[in-house]
Structure 1
């Protein structure tokens, strides 16, 4: 499978929301909340955006304390001394971020809400004082969790809920990533079997490629995969297979 980044509709909405935060009127309203169901590509999208823009990407840890977070942030930056008191470390980080204006991305942000949201309060302070954009990534319930903390919730300038990938997104991904060309009908089956979860789309494309190579196919169509398990439903504990009638009505 080709190593490419797929710019889906979710990606476009996320980038538009980032621009809106960057153009905000209130300097302290620098938080963007990115949320949605697992497997829709939230982390992958934000990570790619961070690489492209020079933003800092951190994955929150279950045992983060404010100081542990600050040390992780400093270690990621590499140029900030991690020694001294928490207050000294915080000051050095503020100085660096205020000058660099690097956005900050926090994945699995639910972990920042433990212990009365002490870590998220520290992240809020960094956003306030350095006036940088902070992207918080979480599951579908994080918006309600953050809403319990009014002083933080009021600083969320934008919230983006990732949706399942559209058929157009999936067809684009299949065309961009698959080393074996796939017909429109098979792309539609990839969309149906994946439920629009980009993580699952990538796994299915890899399976299609493997089966196609083993079968010596130059192009993959539904007729080659009818009854073939391209995915697995872990809740129902059964494989997801290409429909017998796929191609006529996927």
Structure 2
């Protein structure tokens, strides 16, 4: 007898089939508008996959450069759609991935083997279908764990959105059977002026950071959300310490902007 199945055939650790199977289309999506561009794009990518039929591809990719706010956007999309969310780590194996997904699904008693855990995961998602968001997908590509995502996709009706770096779509081309199941690929965008001012209003609570200074940060950081936020927080702290009520570009002056560029070495004095 299979040690990983009960007499009724139910995978261990998966809730019993008491109610009829629900449909992913029954998932309620929060209708409020997304605050930032990449939050909106990630949510739309996931919703496009959710709207697909069972017999059509339901994989989505949201990709872009580091610092564009993809993880925040992924978390936002997951929260708005009540999706399961898993963030991969660099040391994960195929079994670790399955265990992480099973844990996120609430499966408390995992089977002993990876194939049996996969069966638990797919059965749970068949009975209780909710979207799945997988962040740091590049790690799973590197660890040859891509086919597990395809197994889950093919055995269920759920939408799956993968988050990764700029070259994620190119990496996935290596797996043709996986690549042709991707319904939509969406590129994360650099922060817009509107995004920057919204970030300013969210993070700068001690002083009034003027539009011209916030937008200068955006320009110098080439739209990288993480670096924009770093500079906004720094400006807010300096303005607070200096008791500067209105911190504008003229006040900032020649202070450096942290944008990742190497700062020129200052001469030490004296001839070389």
TM (normalized to structure 1)? 0.84
Q: How much does 1:138 deviate?
A: 1.1
Aligned length: 231
Matched, 1:76 2:104: yes
5+ residue gaps, structure 2? 1-33, 266-272
Contact 1:27 1:128 in 2 (8 A): no
Which structure: larger Rg?
Answer: 2
Give the Cα–Cα distance (whole angstroms) in 1 for the partners of residues 50 and 259 of structure 2: 41
TM-align CA RMSD = 2.0
Name the counterpart of 1:8. Answer: 36
Name the counterpart of 1:154. Answer: 180
Give the Cα–Cα distance (whole angstroms) in 2 for the partners of residues 13 and 44 of structure 1: 12
5+ residue gaps, structure 1? 1-5, 240-250
Q: How much does 1:31 deviate?
A: 0.8
Give the Cα–Cα distance (whole angstroms) in 1 for the partners of residues 73 and 38 of structure 2: 8
Name the counterpart of 1:195. Answer: 222
TM (normalized to structure 2)? 0.78
Matched, 1:60 2:115: no
Name the counterpart of 2:67. Answer: 39
Matches for 1:177-188 after TM superposition, within 5 Å: 177-179=203-205, 180-188=207-215
Name the counterpart of 1:114. Answer: 142
Question: Quick check: which one's helix share is greater?
Answer: 1
What is the DSSP-based 3-state SS (H/G/I as helix, E as strand, rest coil) of the residue aligned with 1:233? coil
Name the counterpart of 2:118. Answer: 90
Matches for 1:238-249 after TM superposition, within 5 Å: 238=264
Contact 1:207 1:230 in 2 (8 A): no
Q: How much does 1:232 deviate?
A: 4.4
Contact 2:60 2:183 in 1 (8 A): yes
What is the DSSP-based 3-state SS (H/G/I as helix, E as strand, rest coil) of the residue aligned with 1:192? helix
Contact 2:67 2:224 in 1 (8 A): yes
